[in-house]
Amino acid sequence: MEYPRQHLHDLLADLALLRVRAERACQETEELRKKCAASKRLTTVSRALLNRHTSRDQTDLQMARRHVRKGKAHVAQQYEIVAKFPDGSKLRARAEELLHQFESSLQDHRAHLARLEKDAAS
């Protein structure tokens, strides 16, 4: 069976395009693999540093108190930032979103501290 010359040319062009796409996908996969490996190494190091810091320098209760203290400071600072932007502006809306996230985190920190203090009292 004989194919027209243009049809064969089109098939070769399609194959070349597929090869380029496959090579690009392989390169992207390799880049992602490297980023994933780096992220895993960073996570391992971060956990080791956190464990060392927590166990050596402070108790869980002290850490929870520090989180509440820093959370309060973040919320106060974010209120100041919100006040700098005009009402209705996109920047103010974004700053208010962050403020709500900080307030939510502070609530979580306070609840965690309360649990630890309750456990310590029993």
**pLDDT tens digits in sequence order for the chain, 122 residues long:** 566 677 777 877 888 888 888 888 888 888 777 777 777 777 777 777 776 655 556 789 999 999 999 999 999 999 999 999 999 999 999 999 999 999 999 999 999 999 999 998 88
Domain residues for 47?
1-57
Last residue of a domain, one of 57, 75, 92: 57
CB count within 10 Å of CB 75 equals 15
Among 57, 72, 98, identify where a domain stops: 57
CA distance 96 to 104: 12
What are the residues whose beta carbons fall under 8 Å from the beta carbon of 79, sequence distance 6 or more?
99
Shared-domain flag, residues 31 and 74: no
pTM: 0.53
Domain co-membership, 117 together with 79: yes
Given a contact cutoff of 8 angstroms between Cβ atoms, the answer to whether 82 and 101 are in contact is no
